[in-house]
Amino acid sequence: MSRSLSLALARRMAMVLLLVLVAAPFGVAQTQAPAPAKLTPVTVYKSPTCGCCAKWVEHMRANGFEVTVNETPDVAPIKDKQGVPAELRSCHTALVGGYAIEGHVPADVIKKLLRERPNAVGLAVPGMPMGSPGMEGASKDSYNVMLFDKAGKATIYASR
């Protein structure tokens, strides 16, 4: 190969490299990362000493909810205000998307509620069944997630 041809080829390669280096930042600047998904806000009212409630909060956060915790020594006034029937009560009460969530309701059932938007006050898992979110352990009880209305009437919404 002649020296002049070799020099011309080297110049062309240098020019291409220079164009790539100059253009590269513009290509990067035009691509943007997608905006982070907005988390569904949940407000939880619980006793400051309740460990299972704290585990339920962890379960909710792990499932894409943005949880705000309000610790109070007496959750009964919140339950009364939200219309949670006495027979459906548990250890904590949460508010999400205009619904009351009582006790250890699984996050996937709450997501179903928010998708379907039934005419109801909320969901409840009465008591504290073993194996429900926040109540994990060696044993697992079967339990129902109850949908309740303003009159206090409850129907089974999901079974676990």
Digit-coded pLDDT (tens) for 113-150: 999 999 999 999 999 999 999 999 889 999 999 999 99
Share the mean pLDDT of the chain: 85
Q: Are residues 28 and 46 in the same domain?
A: no
Q: Are residues 58 and 94 in the same domain?
A: yes
Residues belonging to the chain: 160
Domain that holds residue 83: 40-159
Per-residue pLDDT for 69 more than 60?
Answer: yes
HSE (side-chain half, CA atoms, 13 Å) at 125: 28
Please count the structural domains in the chain.
2
Band of residue 108 on the pLDDT scale cut at 50, 70, 90: very high
Q: In Å, what is the CA distance from 23 to each residue of 10, 15, 31, 69?
A: 20, 12, 13, 49
Q: With beta carbons less than 8 A apart as the criterion, state whether 125 and 146 touch.
A: yes
Q: Are residues 55 and 8 in the same domain?
A: no
HSE (side-chain half, CA atoms, 13 Å) at 84: 30
Q: Are residues 121 and 151 in the same domain?
A: yes
CATH for 124: 3.40.30.10
Average pLDDT, integer, range 3-11: 51
In this prediction the pTM is 0.76
Taking only the tens place, the pLDDT of each residue in 110-119 is 999 999 999 9
